[in-house]
Structure 1
Amino acid sequence: SGAGTSYLLAKAIDPKNVDLSPLAIVGCLGDQQDKGPKRSLIGLNSGILADAVQAKLVEVTQDLVLFGRQTRPIHRAIASTTTPFLPGLSGEEDRCLALLDSVNIPTKVEDRWRTISDLSLEEKKRLVDKIIQHMISLKLSGEVALELIGSVYTLTKEEPSTPLRDGREYASLLNSCGRMGKPGLGIALGLGDRGGSFEEAQQVYSEYRKFLSKYMNWITQDPKSLVQKGHLVIVRGEGVIDENMTGAVSSILSSSNLFGGSKVTLVVTATKEGESKVSARGTDQLIQKGLNLGKILQDLSPKFGGYGGGHDIAAGATVERQSLESFLTQFEKTIESSIK
């Protein structure tokens, strides 16, 4: 990730900059580079993690990877989780409460809400089993629920009661600031502001979550929003999905395995300038078969009056609106021909 590269440069300049390693971990988690077994970090990221662990700045444990596992009531932690997206639960606190009640997991101890970190191992097993049953009842893959179990990265110098304590939550907070047009807040957090900027960032994140839940529930409940062709799933989000949110929606859909098998997810929406914006996400399996979304969009978009590019697994482009249908047809053909 860019954060990891920046950290390695800073460390080469001065070894004392190892204190920046937690930010590098946050960056690679934000880029969803936890691709090892049980969502672990591999490659150069594992070396950065070793620096952070040795300096006692980060601790790694195996647990439920739910948003707000130390800070939010259990039902809100489930409802706030969008990676993976849990249809009927993500964004639905009442349904999450009902699910917990159905497996006899108390949500309160006296007047205090329990958190995920308060659950016993047996309660966690019952919770995951119930989520699997829930997914199967919707005719979706229960394997998605297994993605809720994995490596958890705790930033030891952050206050236990804040979302900055968890690496993925910190990354989500930063991402929301960028998506919602508040990048300065993210920079302030990285520089250590834990006052007004932190409070405002949490409000921004709350709004960001509401938008994501709204979009994802719309997609899962309205079949007309989806077009599936071979290895490609197209989400027609014109008039619904904000142009700054296409990447986030595409990433969540791609990681949630809602469509089964390896698919390229392409989210389409309209820009304020009257153009069409697309955000594409692939899978590791398709990348291994030769897919390179960044190159495809870089080469293809200029032919339709636009521009684009990115990484092999994640990319985006803007094209002329009147050329969108032709672009989508050619994009589909290029995807199929590039997969060996």
Structure 2
Amino acid sequence: MLKRAEEISKIIKSSKGIHIVSHIDADGITAGTIAYQTLKRLGKNYSIEFVKQLDEIVLERLKNENHELVWFTDLGSSISISYPEINKVVTDHHICPEKSNLSFHLNPHLFNLDGGLEISGAGTTYLVSKAIDKKNKDLSYLALIGSCGDLQDRKNCKLVGLNRDILNDGEKTGVVQSKIDIRFFGRETRPIYKMLQYSSDPIIPGLSGRESSCISFLQELGITMQDGDEWRKWIDLSKDERSLIISNIAQLLLLKGFGHKLTKRIIGEVYILNKEKEGTEVHDAKEFATLLNSTARYGKFEVGLNVCLGDRNKWLKEARKLLLGHRHNLIEGLQFAREEGIIKRDHLQFFHAGSGIRDTIVGIVANLLLNSEDVSSELPLIGFADKGNGEIKASARGTEELVEKGLNLSLAMKKAASAFDSIGGGHNIAAGATIPKGKEEEFLEILEKEIKTQLS
């Protein structure tokens, strides 16, 4: 992979003008930012845009714009063997087509590595940046935010594979540090009881989703939840207080029969960004990723880009406003999906949100549902949402246990979408597709047949 990164770095260095095209999620924003900073430091003429997907409209426009070179980050593998009219380099990590092992295409799957686990789109983009100039190692923290945004730390409760090499670069340059701590989201910014209330990996029986129970649990342990008018957060607790909470959560899980394997998931590696202020959304890699997801997914890519470029005034304030809206939309989305109902079939389950949930966040809602107490984790979950223009977004989510049994949602979604000459793909545990409106039932029939084959 490093040799391929070197090849791509030479293509970029020899080009005068480069247009970056990246995806709208946290991994895409950080990948795009790494490319942006790399080209800025090289003194190149450059421009950037963020897109939901590489559909025919986007590709035809890019073809007509006749850029000297287009750098696709966190997407592009799907067109690596097509659209030769677009002079391109691709740094991606999604499953790629056969015969795409080409000099301009960097993707872990080409080198028998898992792009859903070992390196993200921001990670592959970082490898090229580092090949261009070793001084770009200071951008490693962006690659780690991208990996956390794509949940690559979830399976092993830490980053693995090439992500660890990137982490090593970040620690050596002093921009990031890893440490063992509780893995629940919101360590830096949420009141302790809120962090426990929204815990989902693992779900805490009797506490997850129950605010009053979380408050009672902490009171019974003698944990002071407020310091004056301020709610205390996890980072405000003493070592003894943290240990007390963790040990009692572990006891609760074991008593409920969750087993040692699941109980161990309470703690794992967390990634701290050393140059950021403690107690903010940009100090912890996972929280930073969520902040970014609240920007470009709502068409405000310039906000996420500028926060990644270091703005901590105007753009960070705007990002925080968007984050509040994002959280509100997720809560409403979860409620909407539950009210509409999860429909179970033999080999999958699904919900159809119509226009009730944005197509750009239906995948996040599906993931949250699959990790909640009231949805079975024994079947993959498909979420449908209206995209407009006669199209439907389908987002599929699975679990590590299902993947271990043979589930590959990327291949399944690609196959089902291809029946309608549509686009589908992603990773084995999470994938998406765009299909014609009104074809959902046919799509589900093909998808379920493929999933049945994979899991049999």
Query: Shorter-chain-normalised TM-score: which range?
Result: 0.7 to 0.9
Deviation at 1:83, TM superposition (A): 5.9
2:142 corresponding residue in structure 1: 23
Of the candidates 216, 237, 241, which is equivalent to residue 119 of structure 1? Answer: 237
1:278 corresponding residue in structure 2: 394
Deviation at 1:126, TM superposition (A): 4.9
The one-letter code matched in structure 2 to 1:150 is G
- Verify: 1:234 aligned to 2:353, yes or no: no
1:265 corresponding residue in structure 2: 381
2:312 corresponding residue in structure 1: 194
The one-letter code matched in structure 2 to 1:293 is L
CA distance in 1, matches of 2:249, 2:336: 20
- Verify: 1:337 aligned to 2:453, yes or no: yes
CA distance in 2, matches of 1:215, 1:337: 31
2:322 corresponding residue in structure 1: 204
Of the candidates 138, 142, 160, which is equivalent to residue 278 of structure 2? Answer: 160
Alignment length, in residue pairs? 336
SS of the residue 1:164 aligns to? coil
Of the candidates 318, 323, 328, which is equivalent to residue 439 of structure 2? Answer: 323
1:12 corresponding residue in structure 2: 131
Contact 1:293/1:312 (8 A) holds in 2: yes
The one-letter code matched in structure 1 to 2:223 is I
- Residue 315 and residue 109 in structure 1: after superposition, are their counterparts in 2 closer, same or farther (change >3 A)? same
- Range moving further from structure 2, 172-181 or 83-92: 83-92
SS of the residue 1:42 aligns to? coil
Deviation at 1:184, TM superposition (A): 1.4
- Residue 259 and residue 152 in structure 1: after superposition, are their counterparts in 2 closer, same or farther (change >3 A)? same
Contact 1:290/1:338 (8 A) holds in 2: yes
Alignment TM-score, normalising by the size of structure 1: 0.85
- Residue 208 and residue 135 in structure 1: after superposition, are their counterparts in 2 closer, same or farther (change >3 A)? farther
1:182 corresponding residue in structure 2: 300
CA distance in 1, matches of 2:151, 2:172: 23
SS of the residue 1:312 aligns to? coil
Contact 1:91/1:210 (8 A) holds in 2: no
Tell me the alpha carbon deviations over residues 221-269 of structure 1, each in whole angstroms, 9 at most, x when there is no partner.
x4x6112234422123235322221111123334557645553121122
List alignment gaps of at least 5 residues for structure 2.
Answer: 1-119
Of the candidates 256, 265, 269, which is equivalent to residue 151 of structure 1? Answer: 269
- Residue 41 and residue 210 in structure 1: after superposition, are their counterparts in 2 closer, same or farther (change >3 A)? same
2:366 corresponding residue in structure 1: 250
- Range moving further from structure 2, 109-118 or 11-20: 109-118
Deviation at 1:86, TM superposition (A): 7.0
Deviation at 1:109, TM superposition (A): 2.8
- Residue 256 and residue 33 in structure 1: after superposition, are their counterparts in 2 closer, same or farther (change >3 A)? farther
The one-letter code matched in structure 1 to 2:139 is L
Q: Which has the higher helix share?
A: 1
Contact 1:59/1:153 (8 A) holds in 2: yes
Tell me the alpha carbon deviations over residues 307-339 of structure 1, each in whole angstroms, 9 at most, x when there is no partner.
322223221112233221122122111111122
The one-letter code matched in structure 2 to 1:23 is L
2:186 corresponding residue in structure 1: 68
The one-letter code matched in structure 1 to 2:231 is W
- Verify: 1:54 aligned to 2:176, yes or no: no
CA distance in 2, matches of 1:298, 1:85: 31
Alignment TM-score, normalising by the size of structure 2: 0.65
- Range moving further from structure 2, 2-11 or 59-68: 59-68
Deviation at 1:49, TM superposition (A): 0.5
CA distance in 1, matches of 2:148, 2:316: 20
CA distance in 1, matches of 2:383, 2:244: 35
- Range moving further from structure 2, 245-254 or 198-207: 245-254
1:308 corresponding residue in structure 2: 424
The one-letter code matched in structure 2 to 1:72 is R
Deviation at 1:48, TM superposition (A): 0.5
The one-letter code matched in structure 1 to 2:127 is L
Contact 2:336/2:353 (8 A) holds in 1: no
CA distance in 1, matches of 2:204, 2:327: 14
List alignment gaps of at least 5 residues for structure 1.
Answer: none
The one-letter code matched in structure 1 to 2:356 is V
Identity %: 37
The one-letter code matched in structure 2 to 1:56 is G
